[in-house]
């Protein structure tokens, strides 16, 4: 008798959590409880053939809950995950509220599943979607070769900024398509304004027919929150507090699925054939790497898929013990809902 709660059940990631639960052959839950803000309470959602009424977030909503998955804003998690714990649940949280708390493990099951079981605060954190999109691949390579340095540039999808981000990108695309813009400074912004879209955008610049080298919020010395998360979370998940990391996070006009160009330097010698074997041996990775046939992963081929796709694996020509590669992962699935659910499965497995 195990009860799972989804907190934020009516949100974008919550919906994907329900999709994932629906698609599982079997689930270990005797009850699934859907929790959301008061304005979503009373909605009825179908989960594994059963209609479930969404209940409002309250302390009592967690009574009898064993595992509570949270996908809500940082401040809501900060307040309510401890409440869930005080009512006897383990909280698996996909906000940024607890990720860097030394008493909260940050877990990617195929990398550091054991850590999910050492949780002094009763909370397990799910990493940021950008970090997660490359972590299955990096974890596998680290076990094989010993990771030392990481230089990363991202190609991040609009859905990383939530439903608002997706809606903005689709509206901008409709505004620019067929308008013959992209040829002179500012014509994309003019087409977007002419279509009546508000100047405020979650991306701080046009995203259609553009790329935006800024994701998250500004932090110290010119770095963004997103770039620091990639550094700090990679170090914590891999247990490498001295890992050298430089990340540049860039938004691209893709709906869902983050991609990363990764330049990774290892303690030991590397070669492409061995790296291919390492990737092929990891069930959560799909290797698509046939450059002669022009086969490589792209986000449009990965969206909606659970695995991390890896390709363009090259041995660096000038840097010893270094691989360059390209990775694509659905930021709403492995990057959010799927990994959170896999942590819940890991918790109930023991």
- Is 129 an active-site residue? yes
Catalytic one of 142, 258, 263, 276: 258
How many residues sit in the footprint of a copy of itself (CB under 8 A)? 76
Q: Tell me, what DSSP letter sits at residue 224?
A: B
168 contacts 213 by C-beta, under 8 angstroms: no
CA distance 59 to 42: 17
What is the rounded distance in angstroms from the CA atom of residue 41 to the CA atom of residue 39?
Answer: 6
Of the candidates 296, 306, 345, 348, which one interacts with a copy of itself according to CB under 8 A?
A: 296
Pair of tokens at residue 54: 């969404």
Which range, of 31-39, 73-81, 124-132, 318-326, touches a copy of itself by CB under 8 A?
A: 318-326
Say how many residues make up the chain: 350
The minimum distance between CB 183 and a copy of itself, in angstroms, equals 6
Q: Element (H or E) spanning 134, and its range?
A: helix 129-145
Among 305, 306, 321, 345, binds a copy of itself (CB under 8 A): 305
CA 160 to chain centre: 8
Instruction: Say which residues have a Cβ less than 8 Å from residue 275's Cβ, sequence separation at least 6.
Output: 141, 144, 313, 323, 325
Dihedral sign (CA 52, 56, 59, 60): negative
Tell me the CB-side half-sphere exposure of residue 3, using CA atoms within 13 A. Answer: 16
C-alpha span between 26 and 308 (Å, rounded): 23
What residues between 157 and 216 interact with a copy of itself by CB under 8 A?
Answer: 170, 173-174, 176-178, 180-189, 204-206, 209-214
Complex with a copy of itself: residue 55 or 161, whichever CB lies closer:
161
- Which of the stretches 89-97, 121-129, 292-300, 333-341 binds a copy of itself when contact is defined by CB under 8 A? 292-300
Distance (Å, whole) CA 168 – CA 195: 12
> Residue 86 or 280: which CB sits closer to a copy of itself?
280
Judge whether 331 is annotated as a binding position. Answer: yes
Residues 224-283 that bind a copy of itself (CB under 8 A): 224, 231, 243-246, 248, 250, 252-256, 259, 261, 263, 272
Give CA separation, 177 vs 145, 172, 191, 192, 203, in Å: 46, 9, 9, 10, 19
Phi-psi map region of 293: left, alpha, beta (phi>0 left; psi -120 to 50 alpha): alpha
What is the distance in angstroms between the CA of the first residue and the CA of the last residue of the chain?
14
Cβ atoms of 181 and 209 within 8 Å: the answer is yes
Cβ 34 to a copy of itself, closest distance in Å?
22
Residue of 129, 142, 249, 328 with catalytic role? 129
CB of 127 to a copy of itself, least distance (A): 19
Catalytic residue check, 258: yes
Q: From the CB of 92, what's the least distance to a copy of itself, in Å?
A: 25
Q: Using CB under 8 A, which residues numbered 135 to 154 contact a copy of itself?
A: 149, 151, 153
Cβ distance to a copy of itself smaller for residue 55 or 134? 134
Task: Report the residue number, 26 or 217, with the smaller CB distance to a copy of itself.
Answer: 217
Work out how close the CB of 344 gets to a copy of itself at its nearest, in angstroms, rounded to a whole number.
24
Which residue number, 144 or 250, has a Cβ lying nearer to a copy of itself?
250
Q: Are 154 and 262 in contact (CB under 8 A)?
A: no
Work out which of 83, 316, 321, 345 binds a copy of itself, going by CB under 8 A.
316
Instruction: Give me 29's structure tokens.
Output: 């839950």
Judged by CB under 8 A, which stretch of 27-35, 83-91, 289-297, 336-344 contacts a copy of itself?
289-297
Instruction: State in angstroms the smallest separation of the CB of 209 from a copy of itself.
Output: 6
- The reply, when asked if residue 39 is annotated as ligand binding, is yes
Q: What is the CA radius of gyration of the chain?
A: 21
Binding residues, as ranges, are 10-13, 39-40, 99, 156, 159-160, 251, 331
Binding residues for substrate, as ranges, are 156, 251
Q: Which residues are catalytic?
A: 129, 258
């Amino acid at each position: 008798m195990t009860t799972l709660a989804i907190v934020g059940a009516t949100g974008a990631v919550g919906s994907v959590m329900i999709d994932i639960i629906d698609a599982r052959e079997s689930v270990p839950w005797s009850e699934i409880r859907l929790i959301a803000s008061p304005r979503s309470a009373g909605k009825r959602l179908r989960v594994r053939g059963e209609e479930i009424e969404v209940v409002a977030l309250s302390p009592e909503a967690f009574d009898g809950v064993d595992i509570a998955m949270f996908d809500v804003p940082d401040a809501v998690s900060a307040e309510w995950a401890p409440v869930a714990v005080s009512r006897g649940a383990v909280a698996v949280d996909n906000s940024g509220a607890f990720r860097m708390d030394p008493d909260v493990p940050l877990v990617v099951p195929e990398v550091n599943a054991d850590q999910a079981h050492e949780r002094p605060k009763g909370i397990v954190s799910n990493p940021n979607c950008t970090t997660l999109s490359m972590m299955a691949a990096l974890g596998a390579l680290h076990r094989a070769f010993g990771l030392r340095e990481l230089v990363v540039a991202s190609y991040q999808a609009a859905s990383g900024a939530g439903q608002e981000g997706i809606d903005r990108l689709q509206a901008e695309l409709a505004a620019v398509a067929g308008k013959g813009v992209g040829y002179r400074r500012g014509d994309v912004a003019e087409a977007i304004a002419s279509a009546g879209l508000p100047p405020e955008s979650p991306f701080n610049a046009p995203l259609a027919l553009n790329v935006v080298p800024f994701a998250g919020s500004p932090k110290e010395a010119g770095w963004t929150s997103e770039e620091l998360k990639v550094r700090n979370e990679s170090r914590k998940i891999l247990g490498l507090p001295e890992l050298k990391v430089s990340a540049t996070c860039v938004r691209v006009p893709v709906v869902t699925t983050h991609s990363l160009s990764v330049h990774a330097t290892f303690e030991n010698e590397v070669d492409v054939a061995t790296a291919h074997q390492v990737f092929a041996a990891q069930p959560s990775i799909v290797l698509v790497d046939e450059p002669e046939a022009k086969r490589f992963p792209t986000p449009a081929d990965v969206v909606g898929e659970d695995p991390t796709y890896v390709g363009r694996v090259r041995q660096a020509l000038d840097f010893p013990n270094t691989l360059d590669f390209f990775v694509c992962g659905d930021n709403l699935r492995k990057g959010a809902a799927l990994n959170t659910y896999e942590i819940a499965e890991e918790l109930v497995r023991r």
